[in-house]
Each structure stands twice: as structure tokens, then as C-alpha cells.
Structure 1
Amino acid sequence: MSTFFDGKKSFTEVPVNSNKIDTSEFLLATEDLIKLFDLLGSTAFNVVQSDMTGNVKKIRDFLLKNPSSATTLQDIVLAEKAGKDKTATQGLLWLSRGLQFTAQAMRETVDNPSKEMTETFTSAYNKTLVKYHNMFVRPVFKLAMKACPYRSDFFKKLGEDQAKVMAQLLAWLAALENIVQIIFDFYKSGNYGKGL
């Protein structure tokens, strides 16, 4: 029996060598993660998806123009550091915040089986993205959190074999959390997010 994760690029498959993250594999895994929001079944999540997709495009555009300086995500940030244009660096920072929110939301959902997703996603939003959003953006995201499906319906959409779904989800989630942490640690180490 197939699951949502079958045939998709998992974060478990993204090469991370000496804490350097492969750019093209990361982008493929991220594009497949964005499809997860389709399962939430509400147009309220379009804003989340379009934001993440836009940031993926900024990074991919840099990769296509400068393949030799974009092998890893860290290479991109270091390449842009010297110049004035920090479009990909900003895109990666905002994308990472979106990924952190997604990871936190799924972690809280997995760790609290008695809680519905409206509660776990709202909690994750309040712990991650809310501090970066202004008073115009917050209500849009809060509306999206309220539009989460029932937990049982969402997990059914992930696949019939719930044991397989959970095993894949936990592996995917651990890899995602690790990658997000590496990116944030890297930004912090060089203060690369300043002014972005």
C-alpha cells in the first residue's frame, strides 16, 4: 500500500556532509513537502504554499545562474555575502522559517495524539512564525491554522497503512528538524540574516 511519502524526495535523502546541505536535493525535498499542505484540504493554506514556493524559486534561480557557487545552501549564502543582492539568502532564511513551522506543527501533532491539528498547528505557529509576521499577516495565518482538518482525516490521507505512514513520517520529520537546525545555526554563526 502506498503512502503520501512514497515516490517523493524525503529529507532523509538530502546529502548533508560536514553540516553542508546539498542545494538541489534540498529543493526537491522542499517542493515535495509543500505538497503536504494540499492534504490539509483548505485554500487557507495557499498563502503558506505560495510563500514557500516563492522562496524555493529565489534559491533555484540562484542555483541555475551560478551552479558552481551553489552546490550547498551554505555556498549560496557565502557567495551572496560579498555582493549587494541577497535575494537567495533572504529566500533561504524565510523558507527555513516556514520549514521550522512545518516541522514544529508535525512534531506536536505526532507527540500529542489526543490533540487536534487546529491546536497543534496554532501552537507551532505561535512558537515559530508569529514573531516574524506583522498585524496584517498574522490573521491570515491564524485563519489557516483554524482550517486544519481533523487529525484522523489527515492521517488517512497520508496512507492506509498507518504503521508505515508513522515510520516514514518520523524519519522524514527527524531529518527535516536536523536540516532546519543546521541552517539556523549557520545563519547565526555569521549573522547572515541581519537586515533580512
Structure 2
Amino acid sequence: MAPYLDTVTSFADVPTTDAGVDTLAFLKASEGLVGLFDLLGSTAFGVVQADLKGNIAKVWARYQETPTLSNTLERLVENEKGEKKRKATEGLLWLLRGLEFTCKALQNAQANASEELAVAFVNAYTLTLKPFHNFVVKGIFSVAMKACPYRVDFFNKLKVDPNGGPSSSDEHLNEVLNKWLTALDNVVTRLQTFYKAGGHDKGF
């Protein structure tokens, strides 16, 4: 084993071409992001993880039903457009919102070395998910973000090999994390632009 980010599919390794974003690689990378919340070490983030997992499952189910029409996320959404219940389209939309929230939070943390995680996550939430949440969900997220661990503890967990191998250096962690976040940001922006251009976000 190795430090966490070296063990999961990076968004930097998700193939993106003119045809679209590779569905399976994207889902694997998204599952890796879900695991980050385990490192935050608070059960308060359970609702965030459950939401991400549920939306990943909706996209995965659609891929299994129509694999030849769903090899890219764009094709998957386009081919579901005429159906009454667009479960995968809705699931992917909310998944993108959750990914954007996590991405912005960690980008905030990377850009402000003296800032605690709770601040980074609150600022990201305000800009991403908050406008789409009702009063109850806002309260749940507020509790979760207050339960963020200290910055140093979280980043130390990112560096540690859970099987006792050598820990990652700060330099290596920053290199891998920044590459991961840049790619994630690019994928999310690309797909959100696709949703808006095609009107795929209407009704959700």
C-alpha cells in the first residue's frame, strides 16, 4: 500500500477526448474522492458520503443498463434525455455539485496554508452546494463542517501509508494533490458547461 492519493484513480488519469469524459474512469475516481471523507474522521460527514455514493450508483446503474450508449458521460446523458425519469442525469448533476464542493474546499486549503479545514469547507459550501439546499440540509452540512479535523491532522493522514510503509513527503503530497484537484476542476467545469448548454439541468 501507499499514501491514500497514490492508491486511488486520479482524476488526472480520467480519459477526456472530443467525444467526452470516460464514464468508468470517472466513476472510479469519484469513488476515490468519497474515501477522502473517511480521512476527515467524523461521522458527521456520513451524509455527504452517502449522497455521493448514491449518485455514483445511479450513474453506474445506467452504464450497466446501456453500456454501448454510455461509454462517455456526455453520451449517457444525451441518450437518457427522452426518458421520463432521468435518474442518471439527475444523479450525475448532484454528483458534480458534490465533487465541486470538495474540490473547492481542498483548493482553498491548498491556497491558504494557515487556514483551518473548517474555514476552507464553509467557504466552498457557500459557493457551491448551499444555493441548492433547503434549511434542513444546510443544518446538516453546518454540523459536518464544524466537525472538520485540524488541518495538520488531515494532511498527515493523507501522507501516511496505512500499512506502515514510508510516509509521503510534503512535496510529493502537494504535487499529487494539486494535479488531482486541477484535473477534477477541469472535468467538473467541462460537464457543468455541457449540462447548461444542453439544458440537461432543467427540472432538477
Give the equivalent residue in structure 1 for 2:190.
Answer: 182
- Is 1:164 matched up with 2:172? yes
Q: Percent identity?
A: 45
Give the equivalent residue in structure 1 for 2:148.
Answer: 148
Are the counterparts in 2 of residues 19 and 182 from structure 1 also a CA contact under 8 Å?
no
1:191 and 1:19 map into 2 onto residues whose CA distance is 19
1:175 and 1:3 map into 2 onto residues whose CA distance is 19
Are the counterparts in 2 of residues 10 and 172 from structure 1 also a CA contact under 8 Å?
yes
1:19 and 1:30 map into 2 onto residues whose CA distance is 20
Are the counterparts in 1 of residues 19 and 72 from structure 2 also a CA contact under 8 Å?
no
2:120 and 2:199 map into 1 onto residues whose CA distance is 31
TM-superposed deviation, 1:19: 6.3
Give the equivalent residue in structure 2 for 1:114.
Answer: 114
Give the equivalent residue in structure 2 for 1:85.
Answer: 85
Give the equivalent residue in structure 1 for 2:52.
Answer: 52
Normalised by the length of structure 1, the TM-score is: 0.98
Are the counterparts in 2 of residues 34 and 53 from structure 1 also a CA contact under 8 Å?
yes
Are the counterparts in 1 of residues 56 and 91 from structure 2 also a CA contact under 8 Å?
yes
What letter corresponds to residue 179 of structure 1 in structure 2? Answer: V
Distance 1:19 1:169, change over 3 A: farther
Give the equivalent residue in structure 1 for 2:162.
Answer: none
What letter corresponds to residue 200 of structure 2 in structure 1? Answer: Y
Normalised by the length of structure 2, the TM-score is: 0.94
What letter corresponds to residue 174 of structure 1 in structure 2? Answer: T
TM-superposed deviation, 1:65: 0.7
What letter corresponds to residue 172 of structure 1 in structure 2? Answer: W
Size of the alignment, in residue pairs?
Answer: 196
Are the counterparts in 1 of residues 8 and 32 from structure 2 also a CA contact under 8 Å?
yes
Instruction: Map Cα deviations across residues 27-81 of structure 1 (whole Å, 9 max, x no partner).
Output: 0000011000000000000000000000000000000010011000001110111
TM-superposed deviation, 1:84: 1.1
1:148 and 1:83 map into 2 onto residues whose CA distance is 40
TM-superposed deviation, 1:176: 0.2
Instruction: Map Cα deviations across residues 64-121 of structure 1 (whole Å, 9 max, x no partner).
Output: 0100110000011101111212000000000000000001000000001011001110
CA RMSD of aligned residues (A): 1.0
Q: Which runs of 5+ in 2 are unaligned?
A: 160-166
TM-superposed deviation, 1:7: 2.1
What letter corresponds to residue 78 of structure 1 in structure 2? Answer: E
Q: Which runs of 5+ in 1 are unaligned?
A: none
